[in-house]
Structure 1
Amino acid sequence: MPTLRLRTSFHLAGVLAALLLSTGCVRRQFFQPDARLDASQPLPLTADSVRGATAGRQYARHGSLYNALVGQHHRPTWAVPVSAPVLRLGTVLPGGLSPGKVGGGFNSTSLNLAASDGRSYVVRTVDKDPVRATPQVLRGTFLVNVLRDNISSTNPYAGLVVPPLAEAAGVPHANPRLFYVRADDPAFQTDSLVHFRGQLAFLEEKAAPLQPAPATVVNSTKAFAAVFASPTHRIDQPALLRARLLDGWMGDWDRHPGQWSWALSRPGRGGRVTLTALPKDRDMVFYRLDDGALGWLVGHLFLRHWVTFAPRYKHPAGLMSSGHYLDQRGLNELNRNQFRSAAQDLQRRLPDSLITRALHQLPPTAFALEGPRLGAALQARRNKLPALADDFYLLLAKRPCIGGTAQAERFLIQRYADSTVVSVQLVSASAAAAPLYRRAFLPAETRRIDLEALAGDDVVIVENHAVRGVSKPQIRVYGGTGQDDLKAANGHHGIRFIQESAPAKRAYDKPPEE
C-alpha cells in the first residue's frame, strides 16, 4: 500500500507538514499499546471476543486546531470502540492454521498461514507503520511522525465493505474478517510478530475463490512476461475494465501492479490462456485527505494521485493514474462504447439496497460514524460512473500503445479519411484467421499511436484508403530485435518507422514495478 510508499515527491508533503506542525525527533510511543481500552484488566483465557477495542486511537489525540490544519480524516473511526472475535489459529478454521513467514509491504505487517487443506491465508494488522517507506537517514526524525499520522486518511474497516460490492460487480475479491490478537497468544510471541500483539487484524484467504479454478495464480511481473512472450496469453480486457471502474467508484487510487495477482486459465483452443485480474489490498478505499488546509495543499499541489473520496470524482486522471501500467497494456483493445457500456452495467449491478447492505459490514459503531455519509457518496458516484468511464477512456486514448510478442507478427495499418485501423496477426496465420488485435482510432481522440513489434521477424503493412494522405493520428512504429519489414505501397503519411526497440523507460514490454 503506497500511502507512504513515496518515491520522489513524498518528502515535499513531509517537509511542509514538519515545518507547520512538528519539531524534534520521532515520537517513540506513537502507537497504542493494546487495542483494548481496558487492557489493564487481563483477558480471560476462555474469552471468545473482546469489546471496546480500537483500531488506532492514537490518531484521535489531536485538538481542533490540528484537525483544521491537517484534517480530521478518519480519526474518529480509528478511535471508536468496536467488538471483535479473538483469533485462535488452532480453531479459526477446521483443521486450524499453521504460521509461516512474516511479510508485509511498506506499511502492513503480515503473517502467512497454511490451512490443513493446502489453502494459503494471511493475517495482517489493521494499523500500519510507514517507517519502512522513509530513507534510513530520516527514520529518527519528526518526518516519521508526519507519515505515521497520515494513516488516519485511510478508513480502517473499508476492506470489510468491498466483498459485497465486488461480488455484485463481477470482480474477484478477498473476504477479510476482523479479529483481535491476544497479547499473550503463544503463536505471536516471537520478536518478528511483536506488532500483532494486542492489536486488531484482518484474516483472509490469499487467493480469491474462482470458478472454474485457474491453472495457477501469479504476480504482475510473471503475468506480463507471459503476455510479452506469446500471443496465446491474453488479458481479459473487459474484466480488467470492470475492476478498474470499481476501483474508481470506491475511490481506491492505489492500484499499481503490485496490488494485483493474475489467474491463468487452463489452455483452451489453440493453446490460448486467459489472464484474469485479481485485485488485492483495498487499504485506500474511502480515502480522505483534503479536509484540512495542509491536507488540501498536499493533495492538490504535490501528490495529486492521493485523491479524496467524495460525492463527486475530484480528479479522475489522478484517481486512475497508479494503474496506468496495467491500463495501457490491458485495456488497449476496448473502444469508447465498451467503456460506456461497462459503466452502465455497473450502475445496474450496484443498487441502493446493495450499498446499504455492504456498508453494514462495518462494525456498528463505525457505521454510525461513517455509514450514511459513505452511502450518499457511493450513490452519487454511481450515478456519475458513465462520466468517469468517458474521462478514463479519453485519457488512455490520447496515446495508446500496442505491442506484439516474441513471435513474428504482421501489423496492418489502414488509413481512412475519418479513422485509422490497426490490426495484428501472426505471420504464420491464414488470411481468414481472426486477428489477435483490431481497433479503430479517431483523430479527435488519439494524437499518437505507439506500435511496438518486440521480437521476431515482423512485417508492418501500411494501406492508405483515403483520397488524400492521412497524417493523424501520428504513428510511431518500433521494430524491436527482429529483422522487420515495412511495406507502404500507397505512402505512409504521419508514420515513422524505427528499426530499434522503444526507449526502455516507455517500452511496452518494460517489466512492471511491484
Structure 2
Amino acid sequence: MTKHFPPVMLLFLLTAGCARDSYFQPDARVSYPAPLPAGADSAKVTAGRHYRRGPLGRLLLGAHYRRAWAQPVTLPVFAPQKVVPGGLRFSKLGGGFQTTSATLLTDNGRAYALRTIDKDPYKTLPKVLRQGFILTAVRDATSAGMPYGATVVPPLAQAVGVPHATPRTFYVRTDESGLGEASERFRGKVVILEEKLEGKTNLLPSLRGASELEESDEMLEERYRSQEHHIDEAAFLRARLLDLWLGDWDRHEGQWSWAAFSQENGQTLWRPVPQDRDQVFFRFNDGMLTWLASRIVPKFRSFEPKYESIEGYTRNAQFIDSRALSELSRQRYVRTAQDLQQRLTDDVIHRAVLQGLPREVYALEGARMEATLRSRRDGLLKAAEEYYRLRTKEVLVAGSDQAERFVVERLSDTATVVSVYRLGGGKPAADSLLYRRQFKPAETHRVVLHGLRGKDEFTVSGSVARSPFIDIYGGPEEDTVHDTSQVSGLRKKTRYYDTKRNNVLEGGKETKDHRSHGVASHAFDRDGSGR
C-alpha cells in the first residue's frame, strides 16, 4: 500500500476514517439519550462534538474551532409559540445544500429563517465522492467555522452603520412538533433563528423609509432596466470592508438583500443589507493538509491577526463587487476604512464578543478573537487600499436598457475620464450625468463599457502616450462609436464588440473592430447566473 500512497495520505486516511451514516452527533444534548424534561426552557448541548480529533488529527486537519464545537453550553429550548410575540408557524422548507433550513412566519406575515448551525456538504459533492475519506474530510472542514460567530456580528455592524439581522441560537427538543413537515429534520439540533430580509413586511428598523427589500438578482434587473435605479456604492463599500475585517469570505450575490429608497428626484437608490454570516472568523490553515488546501483554493482565507490574501477574501464576491463598486475613488476607500477604525473601539469589540459568544465558549476563544479583531482593525486601512487596487484593475461601466451616451476623454498620460449621460439629443446637459470617474493607467488596465439595450453612442477622444484599454460592447440595438483618440504604441487601445449590421464605427484609427455576424458580444450577465 505504501508504494501507491504518499505517507501523508496514509496519515490522512487514518485520521479521517471512512464516511459513516452516524458521523453526526445523534442529539446535541450532553445528557443524550436521557429525555429532556417536559417544559424545560434550556438544555446543555454541544454544537458538534463529532468534530473532536486526537493530536494526529489536529496536526493534519487543523485545530480549527473544534473546542468550541465540542464545548457544552446552555442554550434556550426553541419554542415556536413563544420565541417571538404571537409565535411562529411553519411556512416552507429551505433549499440549502448544506444546512437544514425553513421559513417561519408570524401572524402578520413577518418571516424568519431557521437553520441548523452544523452543515453537511454531502449534496455539494459529485456522487462518486459521496463516500469514503473524501466525504469525511469535507464534512470535517465545517469545524473551521466558528459555530457562534454570527451572534457576535450585530453589535459590530451596528457600530459602523451596516444593517443587520439579529440571530439567536436555540436547541430543538427531540419531540418538537410545531415546525410542521420540517419538525423531524430539526429535532435534536442546535439552530439559529434570524429575521429574513426580503419583502415589504421584513424591513428592519434601520431601514425605515424603504419601500421594498429585494434579492440581488431582482435589484440588478431593475438597475439595468432603467436609468432611474442606482446602487448606493458608498454603503456597499462600508459593508464590504466590514466583511474583510471579519474574515467573511463567502459574500457572493446570494448573500445580500437590497432596500429600495425613493429619492426626491424620482429615482430609486438601492442600499445593501448583508445576510448569512456563516463564514465569519473562519480558521482553516492551521493543519498540514488544510494549509495545503488553502494554497490550492485561494478563497479559503483564515481569520488571523494579519490579513491573508485580499484577493482570496473577495474572490466569491467578484460578480457583485464588479457591479456595485465601479465608481468609487481610492480616497473614498481610505476615508471609509478610517471611519470604521474609529468606530470599532476596543470597548465595542469586547462587548460584542462577550455578549455574542456563549459564556463557556468565550472562556475558550474570547481573548483570542478580541485580539485578532483589534489587530485586523489596525490593519484595515492597508487592506482597503489593496482591495481598491484589485477592484480598479478592470472596471465595469454598464448603462441600462435605455439610450445612453458614453464619453471617454483621454485627457493626459495619467488621467482618462469616463462619463455616462442620458441620451436626449444634442450636447449632454450636466443634469443628465449618470456616471463619472477618472482612471489612472498606472492603476487601471481595462475599462469595459456595456451599453445594453437602447440606441447608445460612444465617443472617445484625446491624444496621449498612456491609457487604459477601453472595451466597448454596444448591445443588441443600433449603436454608434466615434473614436478620434490616439494612443502611442502599436496596440490599439479601443476595442469595439458588436454585430456588423446596423452599427456604426466612425473614425476608428485607434479602434480595433471586433464586430461580427454573431450575437455573442451582446451577452451580459445581469444576475450572476452566467447568462
- Matching residue of 1:346: 340
| Distance in 1 between residues matched to 2:311 and 2:174, nearest whole Å | 44
Residues 256-310 of structure 1 show CA distances to partners (whole Å, capped at 9, x for unaligned) of 1111111122x3334311111111111110101110100100001x111100110
Offset from partner CA, 1:313-354 (integer Å, 9 cap, x none): 011110111111111110100010001111001101100000
In the aligned structure 1, how far is the partner of 2:288 from the partner of 2:522? 36
Correspondence 1:470-509 to 2 at 5 A: 470-489=465-484, 491=486, 494-500=493-499, 508-509=524-525
> In the TM superposition, what is the alpha-carbon distance from 1:17 to its structure 2 partner?
6.8
Counterparts of residues 149-188 of structure 1 (less than 5 Å)? 149-188=140-179
Corresponding residue of 1:100: 91
Q: Who is 1:371 aligned against? A: 366
**What residue in structure 1 maps to residue 121 of structure 2?**
130
Is the Cα–Cα contact under 8 Å of residues 153 and 288 in structure 1 kept in the other structure?
yes
The aligned residue for residue 31 of structure 1 is 24
Q: Measure the CA separation in 1 of the matches of 2:106 and 2:429.
A: 51
Aligned with 2:260 (options 257, 260, 264): 264
Q: Which residue of 1 aligns with 2:421?
A: 425
Q: CA deviation at 1:405?
A: 0.8
Work out whether residues 188 and 197 of structure 1, in 8 Å CA contact, stay in contact via their aligned partners in 2: no
Q: Which residue of 31, 46, 49 maps to 1:54?
A: 46
Paired letter, 1:48: D
Structure 1 residue 487 displacement after superposition: 2.2
Matches within 5 A, 1:295-444: 295-300=290-295, 302-360=296-354, 361-417=356-412, 418-428=414-424, 431-444=429-442
| More divergent stretch after superposition (75-84 vs 446-455) | 446-455
Residues 416, 470 of structure 1: 8 Å contact kept: no
Shift of 1:194: 2.9
Which residue of structure 1 aligns with residue 242 of structure 2?
246
Partner deviation per Cα, 1:417-454 (whole Å, 9 max, x = no partner) = 12000000110285131510000000110111111111
Which protein has greater RCO, CA pairs closer than 8 Å, 6+ apart?
1
Q: Check the 8 A contact 1:124/1:202 in 2, yes or no.
A: yes
Q: For 1:343, give the aligned amino acid.
A: A
Distance 1:251 1:24, change over 3 A: closer
SS in 2 for 1:253: coil
Per the alignment, do residues 509 and 436 of structure 1 end up closer, same or farther by CA in structure 2, a change over 3 Å counting?
farther
2:191 aligned with 1:201: yes
- Corresponding residue to 1:293 among 288, 294, 300: 288
Give, in whole Å, the separation in 2 of the partners of 1:404 and 1:145.
Answer: 47
Matched, 1:222 2:245: no
2:71 to 80, 102, 107: 80
Q: Does 1:462 align with 2:463?
A: no
Give the TM-score taking structure 1 as reference length. 0.91
Summarize the Cα distance change of 1:357–1:330 in structure 2 as closer, same or farther, 3 Å threshold.
Answer: same
Shift of 1:104: 4.1
The answer to whether the 8 Å contact 2:473/2:522 transfers is: no
> 2: CA distance between counterparts of 1:510 and 1:114?
31
After superposition, what is the alpha-carbon deviation per residue over 1:136-188, rounded to whole angstroms, capped at 9, x for unaligned? Answer: 33323332211111100100000000000011111111101111111011225
Tell me how far apart the structure 1 counterparts of residues 521 and 37 of structure 2 sit (CA, whole Å). 58
In the other structure, the counterpart of 1:7 is: none
Pair 169,66 (structure 1): closer, same or farther in 2 beyond 3 Å = same
SS at match of 2:221: helix
Distance 1:284 1:376, change over 3 A: same
Partner of 1:142: helix, strand, or coil?
Answer: helix
Q: Distance in 1 between matches of 2:459 and 2:9?
A: 56
Partner secondary structure for residue 464 of structure 2: coil
Deviation of residue 489 (structure 1)?
4.2
The whole-number CA distance in structure 2 between the counterparts of 1:483 and 1:19 is 63
Q: Shift in Å at residue 113 of structure 1? A: 0.5
**Residue of structure 1 in register with 2:33 after alignment:** 40
Question: For 2:39 and 2:47, how far apart are their aligned partners in 1?
Answer: 23
The CA distance in 1 between the partners of 2:339 and 2:18, in whole Å, is 52
* Distance (Å, rounded) in 2 between the aligned partners of 1:189 and 1:321: 38
Q: Is the 1:410–1:427 contact (alpha carbons within 8 Å) kept by the matching residues of 2?
A: yes
3-state SS of 1:186 partner: coil
**Contact 2:172/2:187, CA 8 A, preserved across alignment:** yes
Partner of 1:448: 446
Cα contact 1:415–1:470 (8 A) shared by 2: no
Tell me the secondary structure at the aligned position of residue 310 of structure 1: coil
| Secondary structure in 2 matching 1:400 | strand
CA deviation profile, 1:224-250 (whole Å, cap 9, x unmatched)? 111111111111000000000000000
**Mapped contact 2:207–2:259 kept (Cα < 8 A):** no
Q: Counterparts of 1:461 and 1:318 in 2: how far apart (Å)? A: 36
Aligned residue for 2:405, secondary structure, equals: strand
Question: Cα gap change, 1:137/1:345 in structure 2, threshold over 3 Å: closer, same or farther?
Answer: same
Judged with a 3 Å threshold, the aligned counterparts in structure 2 of structure 1 residues 385 and 170 are, in CA distance, closer, same or farther, namely: same
Query: SS at 1:264's partner residue?
Result: strand
2: distance between equivalents of 1:67 and 1:448? 45
Structure 1 residue 494, shift from structure 2 partner:
2.0
Tell me the SS of whatever aligns to 2:394: coil
Change (3 A) 1:296 1:337: same
Q: Secondary structure at the match of 1:244?
A: helix
Query: Unpaired segments of 5 or more residues in structure 1?
Result: 1-15
Mean Cα deviation higher: 474-483 or 370-379: 474-483
* TM-score relative to the length of structure 2: 0.88
2:227 is aligned with 1:231: yes
Secondary structure of the structure 2 residue equivalent to 1:187: coil
> Which consecutive aligned stretches of 4+ in structure 1 deviate over 6 angstroms post-superposition?
16-19, 501-506
Hey, what's the Cα distance between the residues in 1 that align with 2:209 and 2:65? 38
Q: Please tell me the root mean square deviation across aligned C-alpha atoms, in Å.
A: 2.2
Equivalent residue pairs, number: 491
1:64 partnered with 2:55: yes
Counterpart Cα distance in 1 of 2:242 and 2:269: 21
* Percent of pairs with identical residues: 42
Tell me: CA distance 1:506–1:428, structure 2 relative to 1, closer, same or farther (3 Å). Answer: closer
